[in-house]
Structure 1
Amino acid sequence: MAEAAQVLKELVEAWSVQIDSTSALAGAVADAAAKDDKERREDGREPLRRKPGLRALPATEVGPSFRLTPWDVLHALGRAAVLSRQGAGRGLAEHWGCLKYCQALDGSPGRYMALSEEGLNPRRHYKTVQSGELGIGFALAVAERALKKRYPDHLISVVDADIALQAGWALVGKDVKRRDWVKLRPDLLLEAWKPGEPSKVVPLACKGTHAKGSYAHTQLAAASAQVEAVHIGPWDQTPTLVTSTELLGQGGIIVHVLHAPGDGSLPMPPDALDADRELQDLNIYPDVRVPGIDGEDEQRVSGFQVMPDQYLWFRRALARAGAAGLMGFTGGGEPTAQYLTERQGKRHFKGFTHAGTGIVQDIDHEIGGMSFVGTDHVFRLNGTRVEAFSGLEASLFDHLRDGRVEEYRRNAHALRSRWRAVSRQDDWDGPVSLREDGSIMAMRLLPEPPRTRRRLRAL
């Protein structure tokens, strides 16, 4: 039990994470993109369209490092993965997959976060999974920090890009899969929102690698093609972020990050708060309108473009996809399914669930003087029974359970000043992470149940 207790203690120890966002990085990524384009032309392939103007983040948004706990990384990863539907069983709680990294992160002698001894020794086929998933966790930590500086007093919602886009464009099926452009889309859409103001949408493509630093340049060049696929309003007016997390960087973990500026607003009339209404799938033609140069006609290229007459619909798509993610994080299929369209996977979350894979919103805990509703997962950590809990603040949960997305947003924004106090409370003996969307993830030791030793029959 002492060993497991030490693991839980280390999960909330803050370490510095290194950030690489410089003009030199932008130049190296441009060179990597040019090299890839040349190789494609030599092979008779069309070069990729890439987001123009990638550059370093302003120093006011992110510095050379910032402090972060491993538990915050895992919470961010869990929230991003909750609707991914990668599990083998229907109804399986996807977000618990982040717990496999409970002992993968540690601190280096220089006080920088790094892979632990266990994290450094994954099976060969597991390395790609580890770098990809941890890359998402660290990308979100950096992206949210930057966007909070960029959009003060806004909350940041994390939306799976596939879930949001599927409501407007078909992304699956034989005919669709043959189209190369379909594969080129962001991993996540970040929505910065504040009640009564237009949302800001920022596509994010995130990578991770165990390779040396120069490989991050190749990854960022590929990510620039992913974010170029989505445009909110006119072409090239959408802010974007691309990241590559180097897990074996010199001195610890390094997040390489670039951005392209833009507006990305979803304007709306003050009385057009309609996220409570059911969303209908649309069939938007998959193209992006690129303005012509020097009076030439505009070009139509493949991709996803939200035009002004679709702004309100897309805001509703983002808000309801975010609500579905929160309900999935707290457990239970029906409350999640109510926010999804058929094409987004409503059927996956409703109806019959296989035994052993279903979860329900049947647990409530009081932490830091606030009540949370959600679900739990009991497992063994180094032989010791532990409980992991994921949930949502009780009043916010009630709003989303009953379909009141707009009321959830107003109340979540009003409660944001209380969140910081919760993660440093003594009434929960273990790590606690609370995000500004009201979601919480906590873990603690459980007492061992009494056991009776079975007698073995003599042969």
Structure 2
Amino acid sequence: MKITAEVLRDLAEPSNVAVHSNPELAGDVSAAAAYDDKQRREKELDRLRRKPELCPIPAKDLGRPAQLTPWNVLHTFGRAIALARRGAGRGLAEHWGCLKYNQALTGNSESFMALSAEGKETAEYYKALQSGELGIGFALTLATRLLNRRYPNHFVSMVPADTALRAGWALTSRDSGPKSGYRYRPQFFAEVWKPGEPSRVFPIACKGNHSGLSASHAQLASASGHAEAVHIGAWDETPCLVFSTELPLDGPLTVHTLEAGGEGGWLDGPEHVLDHALEDENVYPGIQPPTQSDEPVEPEPGYHVSPERYGWFQHALARTAAAGLTAFAGDTRATIPYLTKRQGKRHFEGTTHAATDSVQDARHQFFGTDFVGTDHIFRLNRKRVEAFSGVAEDLFRHLEEGRLEQYRREIYARQSTWPRDTWAPRWNGPVSVHPDGSILAMRLLRD
């Protein structure tokens, strides 16, 4: 067992991450999709509509091999699940779930990242959970880097798709409104935006496995169906990204990724005032295919953001992203105004179960910037450690007081100014700062 100080150092150590995307992968995924379609026909299951063509991503856009720290990946995962409501608790502590992987990854700048001894042991009992959750962290980290290269003068925000979609559609039987009855959805939306201009949205479907390359082929084929469930604009013109992270018990982890092209995804409708509260809409589910004749065509299952809803959807994405950030900082009162009733506002208004809450009452300075947020004390290899998640104080005050548009203008202007250090000497622990102003840090607890 490593001593705690070594674990903290390992979390800040950059390591190479293998990224796989080529024509052979695209062909293997197409074959896996064809095989699954055949199985569905034989079992008389419903047809799964997928993206018509998945293509490899050019190496220049991926920048492979990518160098990441485990702590940055865990920061990305923690931000992604802040609104997930995965646990029984109704508090704001969902994001601390990322900390269970503190010792799951290993590597250094001279090698490729892989599962550590503890990660391999955990995989024996919690394969689906570990691979799926770590897969989110790697997928969103790499997707952000990819989109930053393609849109250098824009900001990239990752938004949980279920939470965003619930503002317009009833996803489950518990939601009010016309039921979609369709269980396929992307896990996230990447919104690429610039203040005062139309943004572009990419559905992202991400999975993970401990089984091997053939499992990744099947996962990417399935992910194609999840990404296809949302159309923004014209039929089959919404671009998407799909990921499958392979975490073998022997050898380096590999992120397999493909994309679907298209001219859609642009939200160029009338601008909404983002500072205004968002209200639930009741959008009738279904995606309308183009008509081939005068005969009406039945809509396909899924979720269609039509042109008259572009401004509304951009509004929903921005406020959902803000809610995730205030939840990450542990502030109930700041989170509630950014969510609608169907998005789960009540989960932050009611009584919180024991040990599931977090409170925005911690303050620390990193690299000359004051951050406010919440902390968590736990034991790591018998030593007490402190984790801190928060947001730059000046930016958090904008969100706390409802100035979402001002917050977005400032993070856009400051996105290249944040420190890239992976270790904070004064704090004496690993640190990760994201362009949205969020931070995740951990250290041995002082006596």
TM-score above 0.5: yes
Q: How many residues align?
A: 446
Find the aligned partners of 1:320 and 1:445 in 2 and give their Cα distance: 35
Find the aligned partners of 1:352 and 1:108 in 2 and give their Cα distance: 44
1:75: how far off? 0.4
Q: Please identify the structure whose Cα radius of gyration is greater.
A: 1
Tell whether the 8 Å contact from 2:424 to 2:430 is kept in structure 1 after alignment: no
1:297: how far off? 5.2
Residue 342 of structure 1 is matched in structure 2 by 341
Tell whether the 8 Å contact from 2:85 to 2:94 is kept in structure 1 after alignment: yes
Residue 150 of structure 1 is matched in structure 2 by 150
Q: TM-score, normalised by structure 1?
A: 0.92
The 5 Å alignment of 1:5-84 reads: 5-84=5-84
The 5 Å alignment of 1:248-287 reads: 248=248, 251-262=251-262, 263-269=264-270, 272-287=271-286
Cα deviation 1:8-56 (Å, max 9, x = unaligned): 0010111110011111111100100001111111112232100112100
Residue 436 of structure 2 is matched in structure 1 by 437
Paired residue secondary structure (1:410) = helix
1:422: how far off? 5.5
Is 2:320 the partner of 1:303?
A: no
C-alpha spacing 1:124/1:114, structure 2 compared with 1 (3 Å) = closer
Residue 89 of structure 1 is matched in structure 2 by 89
Residue 324 of structure 2 is matched in structure 1 by 325
C-alpha spacing 1:175/1:412, structure 2 compared with 1 (3 Å) = closer
1:290: how far off? 1.3
Is 2:159 the partner of 1:159?
A: yes
Find the aligned partners of 1:236 and 1:320 in 2 and give their Cα distance: 27
Cα deviation 1:118-171 (Å, max 9, x = unaligned): 000116441110011001001111111111111112221111111000010001
Cα deviation 1:225-274 (Å, max 9, x = unaligned): 000000111111211011000001874010000001123111145xx351
Q: TM-score, normalised by structure 2?
A: 0.95
Cα deviation 1:76-107 (Å, max 9, x = unaligned): 10011110111222214000010010000002
Cα deviation 1:382-409 (Å, max 9, x = unaligned): 1111110000011110000011111100
Paired residue secondary structure (1:40) = helix
Paired residue secondary structure (2:62) = coil
C-alpha spacing 1:119/1:422, structure 2 compared with 1 (3 Å) = closer
- 4+ long deviations beyond 6 Å: 174-180
Tell whether the 8 Å contact from 2:83 to 2:327 is kept in structure 1 after alignment: yes
Find the aligned partners of 2:222 and 2:198 in 1 and give their Cα distance: 30
Find the aligned partners of 2:4 and 2:423 in 1 and give their Cα distance: 20
Paired residue secondary structure (2:25) = helix
1:199: how far off? 1.1
Is 2:141 the partner of 1:141?
A: yes
Paired amino acid for 1:327? T
Paired residue secondary structure (2:385) = strand
1:220: how far off? 0.5
Residue 241 of structure 1 is matched in structure 2 by 241
Find the aligned partners of 1:219 and 1:325 in 2 and give their Cα distance: 27
Tell whether the 8 Å contact from 1:55 to 1:258 is kept in structure 2 after alignment: yes
What is the RMSD of the two structures over their aligned residues, measured on CA atoms?
Answer: 2.2
Residue 202 of structure 2 is matched in structure 1 by 202
1:353: how far off? 2.5
Find the aligned partners of 1:411 and 1:224 in 2 and give their Cα distance: 35
Tell whether the 8 Å contact from 2:13 to 2:108 is kept in structure 1 after alignment: no
For structure 2, the residue ranges without an aligned partner over 5 or more in a row are none
Tell whether the 8 Å contact from 1:273 to 1:406 is kept in structure 2 after alignment: no
Is 2:299 the partner of 1:291?
A: no
Identity over aligned pairs, percent: 53
Residue 376 of structure 1 is matched in structure 2 by 375
Find the aligned partners of 1:327 and 1:64 in 2 and give their Cα distance: 33
C-alpha spacing 1:109/1:352, structure 2 compared with 1 (3 Å) = closer
Cα deviation 1:408-441 (Å, max 9, x = unaligned): 0001111212213564543221101011111100
C-alpha spacing 1:362/1:309, structure 2 compared with 1 (3 Å) = same
Residue 357 of structure 2 is matched in structure 1 by 358
Find the aligned partners of 1:171 and 1:408 in 2 and give their Cα distance: 30
Paired residue secondary structure (1:122) = helix
Find the aligned partners of 2:150 and 2:167 in 1 and give their Cα distance: 28
1:175: how far off? 9.4
Find the aligned partners of 1:332 and 1:109 in 2 and give their Cα distance: 37
1:355: how far off? 4.1
Residue 117 of structure 1 is matched in structure 2 by 117
Tell whether the 8 Å contact from 2:423 to 2:430 is kept in structure 1 after alignment: no
Residue 228 of structure 1 is matched in structure 2 by 228
C-alpha spacing 1:253/1:296, structure 2 compared with 1 (3 Å) = farther
Residue 218 of structure 2 is matched in structure 1 by 218
Tell whether the 8 Å contact from 1:233 to 1:307 is kept in structure 2 after alignment: yes
Residue 182 of structure 1 is matched in structure 2 by 182
Find the aligned partners of 1:295 and 1:178 in 2 and give their Cα distance: 27
